[in-house]
Amino acid sequence: MQVCRLRPRSRFCAAILPVVLTLGFGAVPLSAREMPDADAATATAPRKPNVVILATGGTIAGAGADAANSATYTAAKVPVDKLIAAVPQLSDNANVRGEQVFQIASESFTDAQLVQLAKRVSALLKQDDVDGVVITHGTDTLEETAFFLDLVVKSDKPIVVVGSMRPSTAISADGALNLLDAVTVAGSKEAVGKGVTVTMNDMIQSGRDVTKRTNIVPSAFFSQWGPLGMVVEGKTYFFRTLAKRHNTSSEFDIDQIDSLPLVGIVYGSGNMIPGVYDAEVQAGAKAIVNAGTGNGSVPNYLVDKLKEIRSKGTLVIRSSRVPDGFVLRNAEQPDDKYDWVVAHDLNPQKAKILAAVALTKTSDTKELQRIFWEY
């Protein structure tokens, strides 16, 4: 087209040039800089994140007899490939694949299963082709699993634990959107380094802080220090970060843990039974979390029993049955004098998880107390 180069404004060139450019365009390798915007965008668009869904059971995999059954159903029925197939939008934001690790209601989780799950999460996140992991889980002990993974998986890649309060067969089931939100967070760069999260009811909760506060409604999960953020229509919005050590800043590593020491919990009330503590020690408990009344109070008729089991080597950790606030050391009880540990703001079930993890490294009460301040 030497002619057009010389007289580009001629009628002939004006007519022929677009045709030549169009015909030739496909054959001429243009750099992204020269491509029209649409092609440049495609050429430099970030790849979709690769997210693995580890299914363990729970209501999110539950099925009820009737659409009106929002609370009467059987948990842990639907397999992971059906969970994924039921939400085709999952592939909008990520490349997703699933593994069925367990198929149980989460009240049945054992420490051995916690360790097995954490080892699988850790192994997957070491792979360069895995950007994040989602764990579908029953809601009953979801908070313990999320906290455990927060403590022992040495990766900053997003780990998101998700459940549902209604089975997929119920009217206004919450599982599909919770799962979509979980995959969004697991694939988001903003979630890197934020600790293990829990996506329920549009909220992004910290696995360390969150607890199941109501046992029926979709808004069941709550963190007394507030959620980390929200996930809305495929986007994550973070408004705070976790102040406590977690994942890569944790001193604990699931690759160095094969089992967890036994830790018991005794729930505080009036007229308690001292023999319960002896039974827990005889059953092998290395620590007992005392879910005391008020600020972790211990009845006067139990103080000697707790001092006795401490003197025989069992750790005593004062938590509280009161959901919010935190247990003050040396306030209601002379913890220094009795060599007891306080659980700070951790509820009894989370204090049990942290105590078990800490006991894989130390049984020194000063070290234990440091760990309860820092995690």
Residue 301's Cα: distance from chain center in Å? 40
Distance separating alpha carbons of residues 38 and 285, to the nearest angstrom: 63
145 an active-site residue?
Answer: no
Whose CA is closest to 159, among 108, 201, 117? Answer: 117
In the complex with ligand DAS, which residue's Cβ is closer, 10 or 214? Answer: 214
Report in angstroms how near the CB of residue 103 gets to ligand DAS at its nearest. Answer: 11
In the complex with ligand DAS, which residue's Cβ is closer, 106 or 122? Answer: 106
Distance separating alpha carbons of residues 123 and 304, to the nearest angstrom: 46
Query: CA-CA distances (angstroms) from residue 309 to 60, 222, 297, 355?
Result: 41, 34, 17, 16
By the rule CB under 6 A, 175 interacts with ligand DAS: no
Segment 115-174, which members bind ligand DAS (CB under 6 A)?
138-140, 163
Report in angstroms how near the CB of residue 151 gets to ligand DAS at its nearest. Answer: 20
Distance separating alpha carbons of residues 45 and 241, to the nearest angstrom: 28
In the complex with ligand DAS, which residue's Cβ is closer, 104 or 130? Answer: 104
In the complex with ligand DAS, which residue's Cβ is closer, 107 or 255? Answer: 107
Whose CA is closest to 91, among 179, 23, 213, 221? Answer: 179
Judged by CB under 6 A, which stretch of 16-24, 30-38, 100-108, 310-318 contacts ligand DAS? 100-108
Whose CA is closest to 347, among 137, 165, 141? Answer: 141
DSSP 59: G
In the complex with ligand DAS, which residue's Cβ is closer, 104 or 315? Answer: 104
Q: What is the 3-state secondary structure (H, E, C) of 185-247?
A: HHCCHHHCCCCCEEEECCEEEECCCCEECCCCCCCCEECCCCCCEEEECCEEEECCCCCCCCH
Identify any residues that bridge with 106 across adjacent strands, giving them in sequence order.
none
Q: Which of 139, 141, 199, 365 is catalytic?
A: 139
In the complex with ligand DAS, which residue's Cβ is closer, 140 or 335? Answer: 140
Residue 328 amino acid letter:
L
Identify any residues that bridge with 198 across adjacent strands, giving them in sequence order.
161, 205
Report in angstroms how near the CB of residue 202 gets to ligand DAS at its nearest. Answer: 18
Report in angstroms how near the CB of residue 252 gets to ligand DAS at its nearest. Answer: 25
Question: Beta strands 159-162 and 211-212: pairing type?
Answer: unpaired
By the rule CB under 6 A, 107 interacts with ligand DAS: yes
Whose CA is closest to 93, among 45, 51, 40? Answer: 51
By the rule CB under 6 A, 58 interacts with ligand DAS: yes
# of chain residues touching ligand DAS (CB under 6 A): 10
Tell me the residue nearest to ligand DAS as measured from the CB. Answer: 138
Report in angstroms how near the CB of residue 109 gets to ligand DAS at its nearest. Answer: 9
Q: Which of 59, 141, 211, 314 is catalytic?
A: 59
Binding pattern for the stretch 243-262 against ligand DAS, x by CB under 6 A and - elsewhere: --------------------
Rounded to a whole number, what is the distance in angstroms from the first to the last CA of the chain? 72
Candidates 50, 106, 168, 211: give the one binding ligand DAS (CB under 6 A): 106
Report in angstroms how near the CB of residue 330 gets to ligand DAS at its nearest. Answer: 37
By the rule CB under 6 A, 105 interacts with ligand DAS: yes
Residues for the chain: how many in total?
375
In the complex with ligand DAS, which residue's Cβ is closer, 71 or 112? Answer: 71
**Residue 43: exposure state from Cβ atoms within 10 A (0-12, 13-18, ≥19):** exposed
With H, G, I as helix, E, B as strand and everything else as coil, classify residue 298: coil
Candidates 52, 75, 317, 353: give the one binding ligand DAS (CB under 6 A): 75
Judged by CB under 6 A, which stretch of 24-32, 81-89, 105-113, 247-255 contacts ligand DAS? 105-113
59 an active-site residue?
Answer: yes
Report in angstroms how near the CB of residue 213 gets to ligand DAS at its nearest. Answer: 13
- Residues in contact with ligand DAS by the rule CB under 6 A: 58-59, 75, 105-107, 138-140, 163
Which residues are marked as active site? 59, 139
